[in-house]
Each structure stands twice: as structure tokens, then as C-alpha cells.
Amino acid sequence: MKKHNLAWTLCIVGIVTLCVLSFTPLVIPAHESTPMFLGVPRTLWLGILVYVAMVVLTWIGTRVHPEADKDTGDPV
């Protein structure tokens, strides 16, 4: 049970960290009009990376959610 709680907490911390980092100069560079990587803007690459990381963390979160083991009686 503790392992699930730790994994759930790590998912929450990861999502919050990604949200905060997505508005830092790491993703939105200062004083650069068009930073490119392989002909695509760096901001787009990092946006895609953040999106994929959030999808993966959400999927993991659905598997380790602390309430997932309890039967709520709600029909699915």
C-alpha cells in the first residue's frame, strides 16, 4: 500500500513540475525569436515532450491511485 502512495505522490510531483517548467526559459527562450532543432522550433519539441510525459504520468497515476483498490459500487 505504501508503494502505491509513493508512486501516486511522485506522479503528482511530476505533473506539477512539468507544469511549472513549461513556463520557464527552458521551454520559452528569452531573446531568441526562432530557436530551431531539426528545422522545427525548439518550443514545439519541448511542448511535445511535456505532452508525452504528462500522458505517461497520467497513465501511471491511474494504475497506482490510492482509491483504485476500493470498490465504490459505481457501474463502469
> pLDDT for 19-63, tens place per residue?
898 888 777 777 766 777 788 887 788 888 889 999 999 988 888
Task: Say what the pLDDT of residue 14 is.
Answer: 92
Alpha-helical regions (H) of the chain: 2-21, 42-64
**pLDDT at res. 76:** 47
Question: How do 36-37 and 40-41 pair as beta strands?
Answer: antiparallel
Backbone angles phi, psi at 60, to 5 degrees: -60, -40
CA angle, residues 27, 33, 39, in degrees to nearest 5: 75
Q: How far apart are CA 11 and CA 6, in angstroms?
A: 9
